[in-house]
Chain A
Amino acid sequence: MGATTDTSNETIDLTIKVWRQSGPDDRGEFRTYDLKGVSTHMSFLEMLDVLNEQLLAGDEEPVAFDHDCREGICGMCGMVINGQAHGPDRETTTCQLHMRRFNDGDTIVIEPWRATAFPVIRDLVVDRSAFDRIIEAGGFVSVNTGNPPDANAILVPKDDAEQSMNAAACIGCGACVAACKNASAMLFVGAKVSHLALLPQGKPERKQRANDMVAQMDKEQFGSCTNTYECEAACPAGISVENIARLNREYLRSLLPF
């Protein structure tokens, strides 16, 4: 990490240029606010909390943004900061980005995820239900609650389990879509398809799964993958584009009769 390692509690002054949009039908615009005395210990979302308190004091409606666990795992938060999904740090969600990464006097431009499949609800909040519908299309193993075999009856080579876990670590935040120049969801879909295709439990349905999930992905109007790998660089969970290749492979396999 290239961040400064200065631990003293400095404060910085910032100019925040943030996207404001009152609802899905509003055209939206950028508004600029001055924010003084931001502690460098703050997380990015805490900085926005402070901005919102300032707006409230001035009788302006606060900036709406999604957030929940604030420890980088729920996938709820996400915004494009100075043109980068989740900001400048790699493998870091917006909530885990800290203000020591910025300098006194900086202007920070904040925009919502932009994709046709992720319509803006308000300000920085977007509707990511398209992801749920993709999972609904096939991101599961068809097993009912009841009496599956003993857990150790299904042996999984350690390496497969590890690779599967690498893919399963996806937090579904949508940064891959936001960062992709085509707003493609291939990394998200690739991660889920890989997670299940690598495990014996997921093999019986692998063809149907790849087919259905890709069909849904297209229906949601995500773009296609032109292999520029911005998604991988933006992914806070470190999901590799290897999973996109695997998705392509699984899809190709689903077309074969054997």
Chain B
Amino acid sequence: MNRLLFALRSSIGRKLVMGVTGLLLCGFLVAHLAGNFLLYVGPDAYNEYADTLHKQKLLLAIAELGLLVLFLMHIYLAISTGKDNKTARSQTYDRKQTKIESNSQGIFKAWPENWMFVSGALVLGFIILHLIDFRMEFRPDITYEGKEPFEKAVMLLKNPITATVYFAGTLLLGVHLTHGVASAFQSLGTSNQWTQKCFKWFSIIFGVGISLGFASFPVWALFK
């Protein structure tokens, strides 16, 4: 057991846990998005889904706690490995250029993998805002009382500032995922030369899919 704990604290161990937590959070995203799609079905479907969910108090508490733990671990590991990675190069280069040909051209110069920490931090900020909006219902400019979940959602998303933040936030999430998912599979040691390519494409498709899926709601709300 001690050995296992020691190993999980190693550079590889931490990346491994990072990958596992990341993938589990991806699982949550899929479930979340699926639930949200009920918005398109109509108020009744969505409200019923929300009610059913909220009735499972114990289950919900466990799930929320689990999610919180996953997030905290993921964030803690990002900070802890990030700190070590900074120490690993105390003096930086005067000039640094990529040698990956596809990365040195056009928009790919800002390829997501170099911005994981930044995109992750921004996504975290977005999630906090999102929790304030929907979980804590703490927005001073909004009256939550007496409204059905569907109504609340439309109302929140109709706000142009909220819509912009949500649109940008979900796109950033997508950026984070396009590298994160493939990276997790590599950290878990599941890839070889062939599957690596597959994971890379899967990661991009997944990231774009999740991102567009969530980004569609503020757009939809505008026309509501």
**Interface set of A (CB-CB < 8 Å, partner B):** 30, 80, 82-85, 88, 90, 109, 111, 114-117, 179, 181-184, 211, 214-215, 217-218, 221-230, 233-234, 240-242, 244-252, 254-255
Contact = CB atoms under 8 A, between A and B. Distances in A.
Nearest to B96: A83
B192 A116 contact: no
B100 interface: yes
Closest 4 pairs (CB-CB, A-B): A249-B189, A223-B88, A248-B189, A83-B97
B7 A114 contact: no
23 contacts: A30-B94, A82-B95, A83-B93, A111-B93, A114-B93, A116-B88, A179-B99, A181-B85, A184-B85, A211-B7, A217-B11, A223-B85, A223-B88, A224-B11, A225-B12, A226-B116, A230-B98, A241-B186, A244-B186, A245-B191, A247-B12, A248-B189, A250-B189
Given A83-B97, A224-B81, A247 B189 contact: yes
Tell me if B's interface is mostly helix, strand, loop or mixed.
helix
B99 A230 contact: yes
B191 A242 contact: yes
Contacts, number: 141
Contacts of A82: 95, 97
A245 B192 contact: yes
A251 B12 contact: yes
Interface in B174-221: 179, 182-183, 186-193, 196
Interface residues of B, number: 43
Contact of A240 (B3, B14, B190, B193): B193
A255 B3 CA distance: 8
Interface of B: 3-4, 7, 10-16, 81, 84-85, 87-101, 113-114, 116, 179, 182-183, 186-193, 196
